[in-house]
Amino acid sequence: MRISRQQEKIVCQMGRRERDLFLELLPLYPRTPAAHRKLSKSSILPDAEAAQKLLDDALAEQRDQNRQLLEQLMLDLARFQVQPTGLKLVLSEADTEWLLQVLNDIRVGSWVLLGSPEDPHTVEQLTEETVPNLWAMEMSGYFQMHLLKALTGD
């Protein structure tokens, strides 16, 4: 993947393989199970059940909005150009940060679906069910790394 800055934009050029992986990865959003996010580890909060429902509703609304934005991005030919040789992705810094959040949800959600292993690279039992989670976790991390480098200028 080649990433460059052009004025206020970040331009990502992907080859065919990266494009195919990226296009297979994005529809996995959202990946983090809704029940994974808890308001508090303790149950000492007043009206904890109502507060947790508020959090769950807000997160569901955010996921729906992100899903819509992701669909819009993929249809925006000025920013998301699927080409015979790969993919050209043109993002503002704000779009890049948002896409990092989407990819992070896929990465963390895949880790949770793997059972939250301390070291995911040593998952003992790779099965037909766990391999896609490991793949999604690694691929989202790969794309995150490149986007972070573009943002930080490394």
Whether residue 38 contacts residue 52, with contact meaning beta carbons closer than 8 Å, is answered with yes
Which residues face 10 on adjacent strands?
5, 91
pLDDT tens digits, 49-84? 777 788 888 888 999 999 999 999 999 999 999 999
Of 16-20, 55-59, 76-80, 140-144, the one with minimum mean pLDDT is 55-59
DSSP code per residue over 7-36: TTEEEEEEEHHHHHHHHHHGGG---S-GGG
- The set of long-range contacts for 72-80, using a CB threshold of 8 Å and a minimum separation of 24, is 73/99, 74/26
Whether residue 96 contacts residue 143, with contact meaning beta carbons closer than 8 Å, is answered with no
Residues in the chain: 154
Of 16-25, 31-40, 86-95, the one with minimum mean pLDDT is 31-40
